[in-house]
Structure 1
Amino acid sequence: MLQPRILELQPKTLAGKQQRMSFVHNQTGLLWQSFMQQRTQLAAVNDLLYSLQVYNADYFTTFNPANEFTKWALAEVIDTTALPEGFEHFHLPGGLYAVFDHKGSDTAIFQEIFSQWLPQSDYVVDDRPHFEVLGEKYKNNSEDSEEGIWIPVKKK
Protein backbone atom coordinates (compact mmCIF):
# COMPACT_ATOMS: atom_id res chain seq x y z
CA MET A 1 0.00 0.00 0.00
CA LEU A 2 1.29 3.43 -0.90
CA GLN A 3 2.05 5.67 2.07
CA PRO A 4 2.75 9.23 0.97
CA ARG A 5 3.96 12.05 3.13
CA ILE A 6 1.48 14.95 3.29
CA LEU A 7 3.49 18.17 3.07
CA GLU A 8 2.76 21.88 2.86
CA LEU A 9 4.82 23.28 -0.03
CA GLN A 10 5.97 26.87 0.09
CA PRO A 11 5.72 28.82 -3.21
CA LYS A 12 8.70 28.51 -5.55
CA THR A 13 10.01 30.47 -8.51
CA LEU A 14 11.03 28.15 -11.32
CA ALA A 15 12.33 28.65 -14.84
CA GLY A 16 12.45 26.41 -17.86
CA LYS A 17 10.64 25.36 -20.99
CA GLN A 18 7.09 24.25 -21.66
CA GLN A 19 5.19 22.34 -24.32
CA ARG A 20 1.56 21.35 -24.88
CA MET A 21 1.15 17.59 -25.22
CA SER A 22 -1.03 14.63 -24.33
CA PHE A 23 -0.27 11.16 -23.05
CA VAL A 24 -1.04 9.86 -26.56
CA HIS A 25 1.34 12.36 -28.19
CA ASN A 26 3.96 12.55 -25.46
CA GLN A 27 6.82 14.93 -26.23
CA THR A 28 8.52 14.77 -22.83
CA GLY A 29 11.83 13.50 -24.20
CA LEU A 30 12.12 16.34 -26.74
CA LEU A 31 11.17 18.94 -24.12
CA TRP A 32 13.83 17.71 -21.68
CA GLN A 33 16.46 17.43 -24.41
CA SER A 34 15.87 21.08 -25.32
CA PHE A 35 15.92 22.15 -21.66
CA MET A 36 19.12 20.24 -20.82
CA GLN A 37 21.00 21.77 -23.77
CA GLN A 38 20.69 25.20 -22.12
CA ARG A 39 20.44 24.23 -18.46
CA THR A 40 24.00 25.35 -17.64
CA GLN A 41 23.03 28.90 -18.69
CA LEU A 42 20.41 29.00 -15.93
CA ALA A 43 21.34 30.38 -12.49
CA ALA A 44 19.60 27.58 -10.57
CA VAL A 45 19.30 27.52 -6.77
CA ASN A 46 20.32 23.83 -6.63
CA ASP A 47 20.63 20.70 -8.78
CA LEU A 48 16.99 19.61 -8.40
CA LEU A 49 14.91 19.47 -11.57
CA TYR A 50 11.12 19.65 -11.79
CA SER A 51 9.04 17.77 -14.33
CA LEU A 52 5.76 19.63 -13.93
CA GLN A 53 2.30 19.23 -15.45
CA VAL A 54 -0.52 21.79 -15.55
CA TYR A 55 -3.89 20.13 -16.18
CA ASN A 56 -7.34 21.65 -16.73
CA ALA A 57 -9.49 21.57 -13.57
CA ASP A 58 -11.63 18.66 -14.88
CA TYR A 59 -8.74 16.70 -16.42
CA PHE A 60 -9.00 13.72 -14.06
CA THR A 61 -12.80 13.65 -13.77
CA THR A 62 -13.13 13.21 -17.53
CA PHE A 63 -9.78 11.52 -18.16
CA ASN A 64 -8.89 10.91 -21.79
CA PRO A 65 -5.23 10.18 -22.68
CA ALA A 66 -5.65 12.30 -25.83
CA ASN A 67 -6.54 15.45 -23.83
CA GLU A 68 -3.76 18.00 -23.82
CA PHE A 69 -1.95 19.52 -20.85
CA THR A 70 1.10 21.72 -20.45
CA LYS A 71 4.36 19.99 -19.50
CA TRP A 72 7.31 21.92 -18.08
CA ALA A 73 11.00 21.10 -17.61
CA LEU A 74 12.17 23.40 -14.80
CA ALA A 75 14.74 24.33 -12.17
CA GLU A 76 14.33 26.61 -9.16
CA VAL A 77 15.71 30.14 -9.55
CA ILE A 78 15.75 33.36 -7.54
CA ASP A 79 16.12 35.85 -10.39
CA THR A 80 13.96 35.62 -13.53
CA THR A 81 15.34 38.73 -15.25
CA ALA A 82 18.20 37.03 -17.13
CA LEU A 83 16.81 33.74 -18.40
CA PRO A 84 18.36 31.85 -21.33
CA GLU A 85 16.68 32.32 -24.70
CA GLY A 86 13.48 30.27 -24.94
CA PHE A 87 13.14 29.92 -21.15
CA GLU A 88 10.16 31.23 -19.21
CA HIS A 89 9.53 31.68 -15.50
CA PHE A 90 6.86 29.72 -13.66
CA HIS A 91 5.38 30.54 -10.25
CA LEU A 92 4.64 27.30 -8.38
CA PRO A 93 2.00 28.16 -5.79
CA GLY A 94 2.25 26.68 -2.34
CA GLY A 95 -0.22 24.25 -0.90
CA LEU A 96 -0.82 20.75 0.38
CA TYR A 97 0.78 17.84 -1.50
CA ALA A 98 0.80 14.07 -1.21
CA VAL A 99 4.44 13.12 -1.84
CA PHE A 100 5.25 9.62 -3.03
CA ASP A 101 8.87 8.43 -2.99
CA HIS A 102 9.20 6.27 -6.07
CA LYS A 103 12.02 3.94 -7.09
CA GLY A 104 12.22 2.39 -10.55
CA SER A 105 11.02 3.23 -14.03
CA ASP A 106 7.50 1.80 -13.72
CA THR A 107 4.92 4.52 -14.42
CA ALA A 108 2.08 2.30 -13.13
CA ILE A 109 2.51 4.11 -9.82
CA PHE A 110 0.32 6.91 -11.20
CA GLN A 111 -2.49 4.43 -11.85
CA GLU A 112 -2.09 3.14 -8.29
CA ILE A 113 -2.13 6.67 -6.83
CA PHE A 114 -5.29 7.76 -8.66
CA SER A 115 -7.26 4.49 -8.65
CA GLN A 116 -6.31 3.08 -5.23
CA TRP A 117 -4.65 5.50 -2.82
CA LEU A 118 -6.65 8.65 -3.60
CA PRO A 119 -10.18 7.15 -3.39
CA GLN A 120 -9.29 5.50 -0.04
CA SER A 121 -7.63 8.61 1.39
CA ASP A 122 -9.06 11.68 3.13
CA TYR A 123 -8.05 13.80 0.12
CA VAL A 124 -9.10 14.79 -3.39
CA VAL A 125 -6.94 16.23 -6.16
CA ASP A 126 -6.59 19.99 -5.98
CA ASP A 127 -6.40 22.24 -9.05
CA ARG A 128 -2.69 23.08 -8.86
CA PRO A 129 0.36 21.80 -10.74
CA HIS A 130 1.48 18.17 -10.38
CA PHE A 131 5.21 17.53 -10.51
CA GLU A 132 8.09 15.14 -10.02
CA VAL A 133 11.31 16.20 -8.31
CA LEU A 134 14.34 14.73 -10.02
CA GLY A 135 17.40 14.80 -7.79
CA GLU A 136 20.83 13.21 -7.82
CA LYS A 137 19.35 9.68 -7.58
CA TYR A 138 17.18 10.16 -10.69
CA LYS A 139 18.33 8.01 -13.64
CA ASN A 140 16.02 8.21 -16.65
CA ASN A 141 14.40 4.83 -17.48
CA SER A 142 16.43 2.92 -14.87
CA GLU A 143 15.17 0.50 -12.23
CA ASP A 144 17.61 2.22 -9.83
CA SER A 145 16.06 5.64 -10.44
CA GLU A 146 14.50 7.57 -7.55
CA GLU A 147 12.16 10.55 -7.71
CA GLY A 148 9.53 12.32 -5.67
CA ILE A 149 6.01 12.44 -7.09
CA TRP A 150 4.04 15.46 -5.81
CA ILE A 151 0.24 15.35 -6.21
CA PRO A 152 -1.71 18.47 -5.13
CA VAL A 153 -4.43 17.53 -2.66
CA LYS A 154 -7.03 19.05 -0.38
CA LYS A 155 -9.20 17.51 2.34
CA LYS A 156 -12.44 15.87 1.20
Structure 2
Amino acid sequence: MQPHTKTIAAKKLVGQHMLMSLADNKTGELFRGFMPRRGEIKNALSADIICMQVYKPDLNFNDITLNTIHQKWAAVEVDGFNDLPDGMEAFTIPTGMYAIFLYKGNPAEFGPTFNYIFNTWLPASPYETDNRPHFEVLGEKYKNNDPASEEEIWIPVRLK
Protein backbone atom coordinates (compact mmCIF):
# COMPACT_ATOMS: atom_id res chain seq x y z
CA MET A 1 0.00 0.00 0.00
CA GLN A 2 1.83 3.03 -1.27
CA PRO A 3 0.35 6.50 -0.83
CA HIS A 4 0.65 9.52 -3.02
CA THR A 5 1.39 12.92 -1.51
CA LYS A 6 -0.46 16.14 -2.14
CA THR A 7 -0.13 19.66 -0.79
CA ILE A 8 -3.55 21.15 -0.19
CA ALA A 9 -4.84 24.66 0.30
CA ALA A 10 -6.78 25.30 3.49
CA LYS A 11 -10.08 23.38 3.65
CA LYS A 12 -13.14 24.85 5.34
CA LEU A 13 -15.33 22.34 7.17
CA VAL A 14 -18.66 22.52 8.96
CA GLY A 15 -19.77 19.76 11.28
CA GLN A 16 -19.88 18.45 14.81
CA HIS A 17 -17.21 17.05 17.10
CA MET A 18 -16.77 15.11 20.33
CA LEU A 19 -13.83 14.45 22.62
CA MET A 20 -12.85 10.79 22.77
CA SER A 21 -10.01 8.28 22.86
CA LEU A 22 -9.53 4.95 21.11
CA ALA A 23 -10.45 3.21 24.37
CA ASP A 24 -13.59 5.35 24.75
CA ASN A 25 -14.53 5.54 21.08
CA LYS A 26 -17.71 7.56 20.46
CA THR A 27 -17.46 7.70 16.67
CA GLY A 28 -20.79 5.89 16.17
CA GLU A 29 -22.56 8.31 18.50
CA LEU A 30 -20.97 11.30 16.72
CA PHE A 31 -22.06 10.11 13.27
CA ARG A 32 -25.55 9.09 14.42
CA GLY A 33 -26.01 12.72 15.49
CA PHE A 34 -24.41 14.26 12.39
CA MET A 35 -25.61 12.20 9.43
CA PRO A 36 -29.34 12.99 9.72
CA ARG A 37 -28.44 16.72 9.86
CA ARG A 38 -25.79 17.00 7.14
CA GLY A 39 -28.36 18.21 4.64
CA GLU A 40 -28.79 21.36 6.74
CA ILE A 41 -25.34 22.51 5.53
CA LYS A 42 -26.33 24.46 2.43
CA ASN A 43 -22.92 25.31 0.94
CA ALA A 44 -21.25 21.86 0.87
CA LEU A 45 -18.74 21.40 -1.95
CA SER A 46 -19.53 17.69 -2.40
CA ALA A 47 -21.41 14.77 -0.88
CA ASP A 48 -18.18 13.46 0.72
CA ILE A 49 -18.10 13.18 4.51
CA ILE A 50 -14.92 14.08 6.39
CA CYS A 51 -14.04 12.09 9.52
CA MET A 52 -11.28 14.13 11.18
CA GLN A 53 -9.06 13.71 14.23
CA VAL A 54 -7.54 16.78 15.89
CA TYR A 55 -4.79 16.15 18.43
CA LYS A 56 -3.21 18.54 20.96
CA PRO A 57 -0.58 20.76 19.29
CA ASP A 58 2.27 19.54 21.51
CA LEU A 59 1.51 15.82 21.11
CA ASN A 60 4.41 13.59 20.09
CA PHE A 61 2.79 11.02 17.81
CA ASN A 62 5.03 8.30 19.25
CA ASP A 63 3.34 8.87 22.63
CA ILE A 64 -0.22 8.12 21.50
CA THR A 65 -1.95 5.45 23.58
CA LEU A 66 -5.45 3.98 23.63
CA ASN A 67 -6.31 6.67 26.22
CA THR A 68 -5.03 9.72 24.28
CA ILE A 69 -7.88 12.23 24.12
CA HIS A 70 -8.56 13.93 20.79
CA GLN A 71 -11.37 15.71 18.96
CA LYS A 72 -13.20 13.59 16.41
CA TRP A 73 -15.19 15.47 13.78
CA ALA A 74 -17.94 14.49 11.39
CA ALA A 75 -18.05 17.25 8.77
CA VAL A 76 -18.37 18.31 5.16
CA GLU A 77 -16.19 20.67 3.15
CA VAL A 78 -17.85 24.02 2.43
CA ASP A 79 -17.14 27.14 0.39
CA GLY A 80 -17.63 29.47 3.37
CA PHE A 81 -18.81 29.75 6.92
CA ASN A 82 -22.00 31.74 6.38
CA ASP A 83 -25.29 30.38 7.70
CA LEU A 84 -24.01 27.67 10.09
CA PRO A 85 -26.79 25.33 11.24
CA ASP A 86 -27.54 25.43 14.99
CA GLY A 87 -25.29 23.07 16.92
CA MET A 88 -22.66 22.90 14.15
CA GLU A 89 -19.20 24.44 14.15
CA ALA A 90 -16.66 25.69 11.63
CA PHE A 91 -13.10 24.37 11.35
CA THR A 92 -10.28 25.17 8.92
CA ILE A 93 -7.70 22.52 8.04
CA PRO A 94 -4.50 24.48 7.39
CA THR A 95 -2.51 24.31 4.17
CA GLY A 96 0.00 21.48 4.08
CA MET A 97 1.24 18.21 2.63
CA TYR A 98 -0.61 14.93 3.14
CA ALA A 99 0.18 11.30 2.41
CA ILE A 100 -3.02 9.80 1.01
CA PHE A 101 -3.71 6.08 1.35
CA LEU A 102 -6.61 4.25 -0.27
CA TYR A 103 -8.12 1.83 2.23
CA LYS A 104 -10.35 -0.98 0.96
CA GLY A 105 -12.14 -3.12 3.52
CA ASN A 106 -14.41 -3.05 6.52
CA PRO A 107 -13.80 0.23 8.39
CA ALA A 108 -13.96 -1.66 11.70
CA GLU A 109 -10.89 -3.68 10.64
CA PHE A 110 -8.62 -0.68 9.99
CA GLY A 111 -6.13 -1.53 12.80
CA PRO A 112 -3.53 -3.42 10.70
CA THR A 113 -3.54 -0.64 8.08
CA PHE A 114 -3.04 2.00 10.78
CA ASN A 115 -0.17 -0.11 12.14
CA TYR A 116 1.41 -0.37 8.67
CA ILE A 117 1.16 3.38 8.01
CA PHE A 118 2.72 4.48 11.29
CA ASN A 119 5.11 1.60 12.08
CA THR A 120 6.30 0.49 8.62
CA TRP A 121 5.63 3.04 5.88
CA LEU A 122 6.28 6.26 7.81
CA PRO A 123 9.64 5.27 9.39
CA ALA A 124 10.91 4.07 5.98
CA SER A 125 9.67 7.18 4.14
CA PRO A 126 11.32 10.60 3.84
CA TYR A 127 8.43 12.02 5.92
CA GLU A 128 7.36 12.46 9.50
CA THR A 129 3.91 13.33 10.81
CA ASP A 130 3.10 17.02 10.91
CA ASN A 131 0.95 18.50 13.64
CA ARG A 132 -2.20 19.13 11.64
CA PRO A 133 -5.51 17.26 11.55
CA HIS A 134 -5.65 13.69 10.28
CA PHE A 135 -8.77 12.83 8.30
CA GLU A 136 -10.57 10.30 6.18
CA VAL A 137 -12.66 11.13 3.13
CA LEU A 138 -15.77 8.97 3.07
CA GLY A 139 -16.90 9.25 -0.54
CA GLU A 140 -19.44 7.43 -2.68
CA LYS A 141 -17.61 4.08 -2.33
CA TYR A 142 -17.68 4.22 1.48
CA LYS A 143 -20.02 1.65 3.03
CA ASN A 144 -20.13 1.42 6.82
CA ASN A 145 -19.44 -2.12 8.12
CA ASP A 146 -18.94 -3.51 4.59
CA PRO A 147 -15.80 -5.36 3.38
CA ALA A 148 -16.24 -3.70 -0.04
CA SER A 149 -15.96 -0.21 1.47
CA GLU A 150 -13.34 2.30 0.25
CA GLU A 151 -12.06 5.48 1.86
CA GLU A 152 -9.08 7.79 1.62
CA ILE A 153 -6.83 8.19 4.66
CA TRP A 154 -5.06 11.56 4.80
CA ILE A 155 -2.00 11.72 7.08
CA PRO A 156 -0.34 15.15 7.56
CA VAL A 157 3.36 14.90 6.71
CA ARG A 158 6.47 17.02 6.26
CA LEU A 159 9.95 16.12 5.13
CA LYS A 160 12.22 14.79 7.89
For the aligned pair, the TM-score class normalised by the smaller chain equals: over 0.9
Q: Is structure 2 residue 146 aligned with structure 1 residue 142? A: yes
The residue that corresponds to 2:54 in the other structure is 54
Q: Is structure 2 residue 127 aligned with structure 1 residue 123? A: yes
The residue that corresponds to 2:82 in the other structure is 81
Deviations 1:73-104 (A, max 9, x none): 01011232211111000101111000001100
Deviations 1:12-41 (A, max 9, x none): 111000100000000000101111121111
Normalising by the residue count of structure 1, what TM-score does the alignment of the two structures yield?
A: 0.96
Q: Aligned ranges for residues 34-73 of structure 1 at < 5 Å? A: 34-43=33-42, 44-56=44-56, 57-73=58-74
Compute the RMSD of aligned alpha carbons: 1.0
From the two aligned structures, give the one with the greater strand fraction: 1
Report the Cα distance in structure 2 between the residues aligned to 1:139 and 1:55, rounded to whole angstroms: 26
The residue that corresponds to 1:24 in the other structure is 23
Aligned residues: 155
Report the Cα distance in structure 1 between the residues aligned to 2:143 and 2:33, rounded to whole angstroms: 18
Moved more, 14-23 or 55-64: 55-64
Q: Look up the equivalent residue of 1:93 and give its one-letter code.
A: P
Runs of 4+ in 1 over 4 A off after TM superposition: none
Report the Cα distance in structure 2 between the residues aligned to 1:45 and 1:69, rounded to whole angstroms: 26
The residue that corresponds to 1:114 in the other structure is 118
Structure 1 portions without partners, runs of 5+? none
